[in-house]
Structure 1
Amino acid sequence: MELLTASSATFSPLPSNFPSFTFKATISKSWKSHPGIVEARLQGFLLRTRTTISKRLGICCNSVGPFKEEFLFQHFCQLNKGFSSQCGLISIRYRSSLLKVRSCSDRIRQCVSVLFVQLVFTAMLVTSTTIALSETPSLALSEENRLFLEAWRTIDRAYVDKTFNGQSWFRYRENALRNEPMNTREETYMAIRKMLATLDDPFTRFLEPEKFNSLRSGTQGALTGVGLSIGYPTASDGSSAGLVVISSMPGGPANRAGILSGDVILAIDDTSTESMGIYDAAERLQGPEGSPVELTVRSGAEIRHLALTREKVSLNPVKSRLCVVPGPGKSSPRIGYIKLTSFNQNASGAVREAIDTLRSNSVNAFVLDLRDNSGGLFPEGIEIAKIWLDKGVIVYICDSRGVRDIYDTDGTDALAASEPLAVLVNKGTASASEILAGALKDNKRAVLFGEPTYGKG
């Protein structure tokens, strides 16, 4: 419902022969929303007033003479003034009011335009300042900072858990660059190790150049040590303390001392392995040929203290032999047995040589023994899979966004894709060995026998 306001306005004195009268207008409180209604009512009033006055003065209502225009203009202004002063709530100034509204609207538009330009300029200034400030630190980064950022970006791109163990990875980078000392290479390595430790992932590790070279030496044919392959304990091991023996190299010092897959190394030279990384442990196990090393080993419920002597261990990855299974008549199956102990740089070539030798002895089938094979070079595992497969996918490499790479084969490198094949695995089968065994099984090329594998591949 509209609230109506009645106001009266009296014209200023007119000539004596001009009768006085009172003007009453009913205006809606929401007149701004309906200017057309106000204008129409006002025009109607003026028309009726003009007609009445014209009749009283004996002037034709259609007259267009100067007297009429002057009269109407003069008294309309008087009406406008009186009405404005007495009403006190609203002010109506017909055409001049419309002009003022238009003028005010123009000024508002100009002000808004100026304000908009100022806001855009300010935003551009702030943005350019922010960019300049954000670029300043990158320009001032030291070589040590850039090394740290390279490690950070590697994890950011490839790490499968994009929550990064429930932390803001970008905020960690900024805080580390601001707070972690990186004045020397060792301090930078420490900052990288500290960053990776926040992921709480034993299989994501940083290798300094010396340790990386040590790892490579273990895949190049020979090393000096005790012949052990070690890893972190898993849930199936029943203990989180110490380091687990994945495999013990046949004929090596550890193997001769009776250390087997599944045993736990509790200490190396009286240093506990509870919080020791596997690469620190590998470095302690290796050393000059003939030097001693003491191990504390738990085998089941028994704890043993063993003194071993380091030797140069040959890493010949393949051993093979012909096995003839006794049977009736002359149709005894001839099985080619291939033991693959590691995936070093000679592994795929050695497997090919073994297959050629066994085929010359007319074998009917093959057994590939991957027990206690702790892995090694990933590319060698792919090449060995191609030897046995005529086609198919070997492995998918995935990250948090999905499949990144696909390693497959079209059969070009196949050497033994037709004979029956059995693969032997155990809990010491890990890493590249698990990839190979899984590829042969999934492509229905081989049947697997043994026990659950280590679970790293």
Structure 2
Amino acid sequence: MVIAKRGLILGATALMLTGVTVIGAGIHLSSQASLNNNDTKELIDQVWQIIDKTYVDGTFNQVDWKATRTEFLDKSYTSDEQAYDAIREMLEKLGDPYTRFMDPEEFKNMQIDTSGELTGVGIQLTQDEDTKELVVISPIEDTPAFDAGIQAKDIITKINGQSTQGMDLNDAVSLIRGSIGSQVTLTIKRENREIEFPIVRAKIEIHPVKYSQKESSLGKIGYIRLNQFSANATGEMREAINDLESQDVSGYILDLRSNPGGLLYSSIEIARMWLSRGDIVSTVNRNGVTDRQKANNKSLTDKPLVIMVDGGSASASEILSGALQDNKRAKLVGTKTFGKGLVQSVRGVGQGAGLAVTIAKYFTPNGRDINHEGIKPDEKISLTDAQKEMLRKNRSKIGTIEDPQYAKALEVLTQEIATLQNNKAESAK
């Protein structure tokens, strides 16, 4: 399908960087104009029509969608707020936490560029489809949430003492976000214990790419850590690879741990930097129409590559790692990824409001359905809680031999480099 490249966002669901919510695994921000009148029933009908035409599940969660339209249009509404509540009630029938209505303030927040200077706590948050628990995808590095010790898969049970049981994702976001310097206390369930984390909201600067040249037994290697697929990730990744190539590295380790996603366009373009040919990702809508994104013979390097992933690697991270794994371009090291493979379209409705609709699923080149299943690494290695805490407190050790997952990735990369060098030596005889 044709997409507005800078408007398609992949994030594992709610991205709370600023007190701003970014929803979805794949989001296409439509250029459709908002309505120019206050007709609340027209707004409700507009939302119904969009769902009717584009929602990924043609059975609408086994709901009689036409009867739903009649039900909600037969009611009287005296304010925008009543219409908003009615729309949210209507969408709940779909049983899809990623299809949601946003009031004008929420929609304005949605449209904030992911590469900007943000404020908040730095948590990527989702709602479990079955239990409705609020689950942390991962904290962004160097943010208040990361510094406090929030981890991927943590479950938020209370916000400032208020139980989150049955709480809507939007309401949770509203409670967590706030002004710079203010404090929010999150009660986290981790395994069988609850922990309180008082977190001071702050300004957050996101620089998605960090890289360095490191030494190995077989020469220099390039280490690149990508924290988020934001608007400038493509340029920063290109610069990193070109710089490391100029230093004549023998191979690369790409660290996607705790990377929750971002712009789909960035994940595709970054995949093309590593992959010369082959499919990258395909999306399938409810009519079975498939769109495929492919490599374009413009890769920047063909040197051995190992990718590090974990449970916080989601959406765009899964597209990139899945594409390179399926094409046998890279080995994956770490733990299974998050498992988020839904594409959402986001457009303006009413007077400044917005609607996010799940319109498709995406698949790896080999046809793997990432949703819920995630991507399994070629070499599994987990971190203990003590190791996670050590790396959180000593971030300079991330990407060093004191980082067990990095040490394993280096071992795998060294084997790949040695195999390549041996093959070249045999061919030269």
TM-score (norm 2): 0.66
How is 1:228-377 mapped onto 2 (pairs within 5 angstroms)? Answer: 228-233=123-128, 240=131, 242-325=133-216, 327=217, 332-377=218-263
Q: Which of 45, 53, 72 is 1:176 aligned to?
A: 72
Q: 1:420 is matched by which residue type in structure 2? A: P
Q: Which of 48, 54, 63 is 1:167 aligned to?
A: 63
How is 1:422-441 mapped onto 2 (pairs within 5 angstroms)? Answer: 422-441=306-325
Q: Which runs of 5+ in 1 are unaligned?
A: 1-140
How many angstroms apart in 2 are the aligned matches of 1:316 and 1:366?
A: 20
Contact 2:159 2:175 in 1 (8 A): yes
How many angstroms apart in 1 are the aligned matches of 2:116 and 2:193?
A: 34
1:433–1:280 CA distance, 2 compared to 1 (3 A): farther
Moved more, 200-209 or 287-296: 200-209
Q: Which of 144, 147, 152 is 2:40 aligned to?
A: 144
Deviations 1:340-370 (A, max 9, x none): 1111111111111111222222111111111
How many angstroms apart in 2 are the aligned matches of 1:234 and 1:415?
A: 40
1:154 and 2:38 aligned: no
| Paired position in structure 2 for 1:447 | 331
1:197 and 2:81 aligned: no
| Paired position in structure 2 for 1:420 | 304
Residue 402 of structure 1 aligns to a residue in which SS?
coil
- Which has the greater radius of gyration? 1
Which of the pair has the greater relative contact order for Cα pairs under 8 Å at 6+ separation?
A: 2
| Paired position in structure 1 for 2:281 | 395
Q: Which runs of 5+ in 2 are unaligned?
A: 1-36, 342-429
How many angstroms apart in 1 are the aligned matches of 2:111 and 2:227?
A: 16
How many angstroms apart in 2 are the aligned matches of 1:338 and 1:358?
A: 10
How many angstroms apart in 1 are the aligned matches of 2:254 and 2:84?
A: 41
Contact 1:396 1:403 in 2 (8 A): no
Contact 2:189 2:195 in 1 (8 A): yes
Contact 2:97 2:129 in 1 (8 A): no
The size of the alignment, in residue pairs, is 305
Q: 2:321 is matched by which residue type in structure 1? A: A
Contact 1:226 1:254 in 2 (8 A): yes
How is 1:80-91 mapped onto 2 (pairs within 5 angstroms)? Answer: none
How many angstroms apart in 2 are the aligned matches of 1:272 and 1:318?
A: 37
Structure 1 runs, 4 residues or longer, greater than 4 Å off = none
Deviations 1:257-278 (A, max 9, x none): 2221121111112222222333
* Structure with the higher helix share, 1 or 2: 1
Residue 234 of structure 1: CA displacement?
Answer: 6.5
Residue 142 of structure 1: CA displacement?
Answer: 7.0
Residue 336 of structure 1: CA displacement?
Answer: 0.9
Q: 2:145 is matched by which residue type in structure 1? A: A
| Paired position in structure 2 for 1:386 | 272
Moved more, 264-273 or 147-156: 147-156
How many angstroms apart in 1 are the aligned matches of 2:38 and 2:180?
A: 41
Identity, in percent, stands at 42
